Amino acid sequence: MSNELHATPRSFDLTVRHLAQEFPEDIARLCLGREPEALEVLSTDLPATDRRADYLAKVNVSGEVFALQVEFQTEYSWKKIYELLGYRVRARTLYGLPVLSLMMYLTDEGYPGPGSNLWEEKVLGRTQLVFQFEEVRLWELEASRFLEAGIEGLVPLAVLMQGGEKEETLRRAVEAAAKVSDNSRRKDVEAAIAVLGGLKYPEEMIWSLIRREAMKESSIVKALFDEAQKEGFQQGLEKGLEKGLEKGLEKGLEKGLEKGRTEALREHILKTLHRRFSPVFPEIANAVISQPSLSRLESLLHLAYTAGDIEDFRKGLES
């Protein structure tokens, strides 16, 4: 199923991570099944890793203080268990707190069934490692219970819960989002519903309930756009290094980096347009390819994500 807002497993994980940053108490409540007496968000930057944990907080439950560590996944992967363990060890070292590790699965894709939260490793017949972690499997939770509770940060997750495949659940989630009093938070909740709803609902159903204009001002949409920019820069750097080495590192790298990033941005714009408005008219594709300016291409990438339809993009392209 297509989804306009960069619909990849990475974008779903990024959306839930953003929700966790915005509503850390609500995520802790869902993971723990109770409300902590105190919660302090910890830095998710951990030493010896180039990635960040999805969620890390110091919590107090019934006088017991520990670090709650959560990773969000759209599908089961044993490699993610390694990452969960690695982040746990680093968090324990950095903060000196016992750690409750938890994996939150957004969908049941690839999930092998009960008992998948225990990882054992033996060498020469000797047990070297036993790692057991907690799980939250959203598809097993009742959507109506969380919508009735009106917990702002969990409203977008309700569309992935049991009963979430019904249009009525999506409608109730949008209605609950409209009741969020803080304007910026309300837009983020609506954006998260739109992104995560793409895992279950037809695109036309989502956009019949959520205004596209509100989406443009959401920090979640901005985060997805920044992620796309980062990908474009990395692709450009790789191409720039290749071309720079061919032509001599001093001037070649500078020119190659600019050219490589320009090519990467053009490619990203066309892929985004194709995903959202396929097919893309040849004259539009040619106009994008002919754009020489990096700043202009960056503006067009943003437009590719936010335009209501291909005609909106065409008008922006011609302006």
Separation of alpha carbons 157 and 138, rounded Å: 8
pLDDT tens over the chain, length 319 residues: 444 544 566 678 788 888 888 899 999 999 999 889 999 998 877 665 556 789 999 999 999 999 999 999 988 988 889 899 999 999 999 899 999 999 999 999 999 988 889 988 888 889 999 999 999 999 999 999 999 988 899 999 999 998 866 788 999 999 999 998 888 888 889 888 988 888 888 888 888 888 777 677 787 777 776 666 555 544 544 454 444 444 444 444 455 556 667 787 888 888 888 778 777 778 888 888 888 887 888 888 888 888 888 888 888 888 7
At 117, the amino acid letter reads N
Strand, coil or helix: what is 84? helix
pTM assigned to the model? 0.66
Of 258, 259, 265, 255, the residue nearest 231 (C-alpha): 265
At 282, the amino acid letter reads P
Query: What's the token pair of residue 124?
Result: 């020469």
φ/ψ of residue 9, rounded to 5:
-50, -35
Query: What's the token pair of residue 243?
Result: 């071309």
